[in-house]
Structure 1
Amino acid sequence: MNLSFAQTTLEQWTEQLWDKAGIRAVSQLNIDEVAARLNVWVHYMDETSRALEYLGMRSILIDKRLGAREQWEEFLHELCHVLRHAGNQTLMPKSFCEGQEAEANRFVLYAAIPASMLMAIPLPDSLEEASELLADRFGVTPALARRRLEQIQRRIFARALWEEALEAGAYPLPRSGLPT
Structure 2
Amino acid sequence: MMDLYSPTPLEQWIENLYREHNLTNPHELNIQALASKLNIWFYFLEFGSQAIERNGMYSICIDSRLSPAEQWEEFLHELCHVLRHSGNQIHMPADYMQMQETEANNFVLYAAIPYFMVKELKLPDVQNEAIDFLSDTFGVTHLLAHRRLEQIQRRLLQGTFDHEVKRHHERQYRKYSSDTWSDETKCIMDKLYQQLQSKGSKINGSNEGLL
Give the TM-score taking structure 2 as reference length: 0.77
Once residues 46 and 38 of structure 1 are traced to their aligned partners in structure 2, the CA distance between those partners, rounded to angstroms, is 24
Give the C-alpha shift of residue 128 in structure 1: 1.0
Aligned runs of 1:120-131 on 2, under 5 Å?
A: 120-131=120-131
Query: Residue 149 and residue 2 in structure 1: after superposition, are their counterparts in 2 closer, same or farther (change >3 A)?
Result: farther
Secondary structure of residue in 2 paired with 1:43: strand
How do 1:51-130 residues align onto structure 2 when only pairs under 5 Å count?
51-130=51-130
Q: Structure 2 CA distance, aligned partners of 1:162 and 1:27?
A: 34
CA-atom RMSD in angstroms: 1.8
Unpaired segments ≥5 residues, structure 2: 173-211
Q: Which has the larger radius of gyration?
A: 2
Instruction: State the shift of 1:168 in Å.
Output: 3.0
Determine if the alignment matches structure 1 residue 166 to structure 2 residue 170. Answer: no
Amino acid at match of 1:80: C
Q: Deviations over 1:44-70 (max 9, x none)?
A: 111100111221101101000000000
Match of 2:203 in 1: none
* Matched residue, 2:10: 10
Q: 1:15 corresponds to which letter in structure 2?
A: E
Partner of residue 178, structure 1: none
Please report how far the alpha carbon of residue 164 of structure 1 lies from its aligned counterpart in structure 2 after TM superposition: 2.1
Identity %: 49
Q: Superposition pairs for residues 28-39 of structure 1, below 5 Å?
A: 28-39=28-39
TM-score (norm 1): 0.90
| Kept after mapping to 2: 8 A contact 1:112/1:138 | yes
Alignment: residue pair count: 171
The code of the aligned residue for 2:84 comes to: R
Which whole-Å CA distance do the structure 1 matches of 2:85 and 2:153 have between them? Answer: 29
The amino acid that maps onto 1:63 is D
Larger relative contact order, structure 1 or 2 (CA cutoff 8 Å, min sep 6)? 1
Amino acid at match of 1:48: G
